[in-house]
Amino acid sequence: MPGTALAAVEVPVADWFDPREAMRDPYPSYERLRETGPVVFAPAVQRYFLTTHAAVSWAEQHPERFSSYSEQNLTMMRALGGRPMLRKDDPAHAAERSAINPTLRPRAIKEVWSPSFEKNVDRWIARLLEIGPAHADLNRDFAAPVASQNLIDLLGFPSDVHVDDMRRWSTDYIAGIGNLLDDADIWRRCDRSQAEVNTILDSLLPVLRRTPDGSITSHLLQVGLPEETVRANVHLTISGGMNEPQHMITNIVWALSTHPDQRAEVLAGEVAWGDVFEETVRWQSPIGMIPRELVDDTELEGFSLPAGANMGLLLASANRDEAVFPHAAHYDVRRRARGHLGFGAGVHMCAGRWAAKTAVGEYALPRLYERIPGLELATDRDTRWDGWVFRGITALPVTW
């Protein structure tokens, strides 16, 4: 590990790494990268990748060296129109993060948010049943609206905000965060989404100042953060708080449908839904890579890395590391997947992980299979996956 006695050597170069190929299916590239080494330079994205569980974990435990702010990675701030906690280091980050923690801890999730999660799931199962087995798309008709409505509630947004708008804002921000090629149309979409969300906040923030509630937005206000910081963190929460739980709902249905023996065990109650959730986050991680920048010259696994190095911590590759997860390429709901890095680790570890696990693992999936036990993938229509840094299913036709 870092500080090792080995003489520093040149970092291997993966000149074959092609982000377009990774968009189609990143896992073969991850495997080859891990075979190449724990630290690999990828010229196509001008980044040093950390590929193994040990290397990614070490970086996450040393935020004083691996900064979350980087002049080389400004797309998130451009997309969200401000600098959220995820692009700050401690202590500035901690001041913002500690504002939202109380309302996202397991107890608040259980006492404050679970009734909404339950209600939202039931409402959209009813809609799925109305659409029927010939036309239903689990992403469009269930995962996206459930994840959107949950986030509308968590943020304390007015009840007339439409799930399709929340979904569009989230999709636009995610596209912007990944807009490394500077596509002008993506920036236009981000600007429009920012303007729409800001119009809602213009009315909502004065109300929440007068009458605070349990929402994320209210908690950000209550600790006295400047308004632009509150707004930046609301935009941040919209970007990740809808897209990833949406992907987890479809990923789990897809994973269980393609492993019917395991689905039978889960539906027979032999495996806890919480374990299914964790194993699926490990096996098909919705966030494949997180960016960092090296503050100082650093030796890592015997390699010399210069201050200012543009780093990519490959969470999804670390989650397939055989040294930690035997038969890592196999989906196995009975394995203990805890210790996976699908939510990151360290100071920026996902603030919404309990909300996601409860909403998806305790409500969306169990109730979906309870109401529609014969849920299957529809073979007459195509399933579509998309993305590499943010990866998930964009169409999941189902039948029953």
Residues 6+ apart with CB under 8 A from 385: 25, 391, 392, 393, 394
CA dihedral 167, 170, 175, 176 (to 10 degrees): 140
The correct pick among 12, 302, 344, 366 for binding ligand HEM (CB under 6 A) is 344
* Residue 220 and residue 205 in contact, taking contact as beta carbons nearer than 8 Å: no
d(CA 333, CA 187): 40
CB of 261 to ligand HEM, least distance (A): 25
The interface with ligand HEM within residues 154-173 (CB under 6 A) comprises 154
* Token pair recorded at residue 37: 């080494």
Q: Give the strand pairing for 310-314 and 39-42.
A: unpaired
Describe the crossing of helices 227-257 and 184-210 by its angle, rounded to 10 degrees: 110
Cα 168 from chain centre: 16
220 binds ligand HEM (CB under 6 A): no
The correct pick among 42, 85, 200, 255 for binding ligand HEM (CB under 6 A) is 85
Report helix, strand and coil shares of the chain as percent, to nearest 5.
Answer: 55, 10, 35
CB of 292 to ligand HEM, least distance (A): 8
Give 12 or 214: the residue with its C-beta nearer to ligand HEM: 214
The closest alpha carbon to 19, from 52, 50, 43, 3, belongs to 43
351 binds ligand HEM (CB under 6 A): yes
Backbone angles phi, psi at 183, to 5 degrees: -65, 120
Residue nearest ligand HEM by beta-carbon distance: 352
175 binds ligand HEM (CB under 6 A): no
SS3 assignment, position 70: coil
248 binds ligand HEM (CB under 6 A): yes
Binding piece for ligand HEM, criterion CB under 6 A, among 26-34, 137-145, 192-200, 341-349:
341-349
The interface with ligand HEM within residues 53-82 (CB under 6 A) comprises none
The interface with ligand HEM within residues 269-328 (CB under 6 A) comprises 281, 286-287, 290, 315
350 binds ligand HEM (CB under 6 A): yes
146 binds ligand HEM (CB under 6 A): no
* Count of residues of this chain found to bind ligand HEM when the rule CB under 6 A is applied: 25
CB of 97 to ligand HEM, least distance (A): 4
Binding piece for ligand HEM, criterion CB under 6 A, among 17-25, 48-56, 186-194, 342-350:
342-350
CB of 161 to ligand HEM, least distance (A): 15
- C-alpha gyration radius of the chain: 21
The correct pick among 241, 361, 387, 392 for binding ligand HEM (CB under 6 A) is 241
CB of 154 to ligand HEM, least distance (A): 5
Beta bridge partners of residue 9, listed in sequence order: 303
CB of 287 to ligand HEM, least distance (A): 4
The closest alpha carbon to 33, from 47, 12, 19, 2, belongs to 12
Binding piece for ligand HEM, criterion CB under 6 A, among 106-114, 202-210, 251-259, 351-359:
351-359
SS3 assignment, position 375: coil
232 binds ligand HEM (CB under 6 A): no
237 binds ligand HEM (CB under 6 A): yes
Q: Could you tell me where the beta strands, DSSP code E, fall in 191-242?
A: none
Q: Give the strand pairing for 303-305 and 398-399.
A: unpaired
DSSP string, 305-359: E-TT-EEEEEHHHHTT-TTTSTTTTS--TTS--TT--TT--GGGS-TTHHHHIII
CB of 248 to ligand HEM, least distance (A): 4
39 binds ligand HEM (CB under 6 A): no
Chain residues in the site for ligand HEM (CB under 6 A):
85-86, 97, 154, 236-237, 240-241, 244-245, 248, 281, 286-287, 290, 315, 342-344, 348, 350-352, 355-356
